[in-house]
Amino acid sequence: MDKTDTRNLATYSLAASIFALAVAIIYFTIEVKSISKQIPVILSAVESTSKSVEPMIEQVGEIKELIPPILDEWTETRKQIPLILDEVKATRELVPPVLEEVGKVREQIPSILHEVEATRQELPAILDTSNKAIKEVAAVRKTVPGILEEVKKTRELVPPTLDRVDRMIGDAAVAGRKASEGAVTGVITGIFAAPFRLVGNIGKSLGFSRAEMEGLTEDDIKILHEAAKNLPSKSVNEVTKWENPNTGTYGNIKLLKIFDKDRRECRTALFEVWKQGQTKIAKEATFCINEEGNWDPLNSTDSE
């Protein structure tokens, strides 16, 4: 190849290079123009992104402020981990005894079931016995009203019986004093031992009006008289109670005072009589011993 050919080749190559460079510049220009059209969109996106970045930066700042307390809390939590592990270890050590106890309980279950089965077999007999007991109770309940009625009658008989016992004790005391009055105290003791005797009509002797005596039966008056016989053996403020269970009439005789009048020993007593829950009589009466050694009513006054 001579110099002329070489020069021509170089010229062609330079021309081709210039052409390629021109094409590249044209393409670059087209691309730049295309990119320049997208710049406003990119700038708008960048602007909106920058607006979103600022809150994110603020949130990042807040998060950074929260990090130290979180780290402190984590540090405290890490300190508790050994204690938790120790507690877990202690709990794990308790598991074998618990499992052993559970095993023992499971071993006892068959015997418990056997006992339950035996109890279930005995249940019919128990129920039969219970039914018999209920029937017995029902039979007993039928007899209760009669028993209560008997108890009521017995309670009604108790006060008269006690009064009779009191009278017997009083009579015994009087008899004892009579036996010794001549040898020990002479006439004075004889006065205390004298019987309490009402002369004539008892209502008139006690100062009771006919209206007050009208509601009393002969049995009421007789029981009242018997109760009054104990006055010589009573002490001041002592009360003698009497009752007639047949009529429901009852009363009290209370010794109010002991005194002397005209060289005679006297006693004042309060007589109270109730009939059907209402006060029938409330009188004070005074009795003095007479020359014959008997107690006779002196006078009587209304009590309040």
Q: Is residue 13 part of a domain?
A: no
Q: What local confidence, expressed as pLDDT, does residue 185 receive?
A: 33
**CB neighbour list of residue 251: distance below 8 Å, 6 or more residues apart:** 224, 227, 241, 242, 243, 271, 272, 273, 274, 281
Calpha distance 160→223 (Å, rounded): 9
Tokens, residue 77: 């939590």
Q: What local confidence, expressed as pLDDT, does residue 190 receive?
A: 36
pLDDT tens per residue across span 52-94: 777 777 787 888 888 888 888 888 888 888 888 888 888 888 8
Calpha distance 256→254 (Å, rounded): 6
Q: Is residue 42 part of a domain?
A: no
Asked if residue 198 lies in contact with residue 287, where contact means CB atoms within 8 angstroms, the answer is no
Q: What local confidence, expressed as pLDDT, does residue 178 receive?
A: 44
Q: What local confidence, expressed as pLDDT, does residue 188 receive?
A: 32
Dihedral sign, Cα of residue 213, residue 216, residue 217, residue 220 = negative
Calpha distance 60→36 (Å, rounded): 35
Domain that holds residue 220: 157-302
Calpha distance 55→50 (Å, rounded): 9
Q: What local confidence, expressed as pLDDT, does residue 176 receive?
A: 46
Q: What local confidence, expressed as pLDDT, does residue 205 receive?
A: 60
Residue 255: Cβ within 10 Å count: 20
**CB neighbour list of residue 299: distance below 8 Å, 6 or more residues apart:** 207, 285, 286
Tally the residues of the chain: 304
Q: Which residues in the chain show pLDDT less than 50? A: 167, 170-194, 199-200, 300-304
Asked if residue 206 lies in contact with residue 271, where contact means CB atoms within 8 angstroms, the answer is yes
Calpha distance 34→42 (Å, rounded): 13
Residue 254: Cβ within 10 Å count: 18
**CB neighbour list of residue 259: distance below 8 Å, 6 or more residues apart:** 265, 266, 267, 268
Q: Is residue 41 part of a domain?
A: no
Q: Is residue 250 part of a domain?
A: yes
Q: Is residue 102 part of a domain?
A: no
Q: Is residue 26 part of a domain?
A: no
SS3 124: helix
Q: Is residue 71 part of a domain?
A: no
Number of domains, the chain: 1
Question: Is the pTM here over 0.75, yes or no?
Answer: no
Q: Is residue 202 part of a domain?
A: yes
Q: In degrees rounded to 5, what are phi and psi of residue 244? A: -110, 100
Q: What local confidence, expressed as pLDDT, does residue 271 receive?
A: 92
In the chain, beta strands by DSSP E:
239-244, 249-261, 264-275, 278-289, 295-302
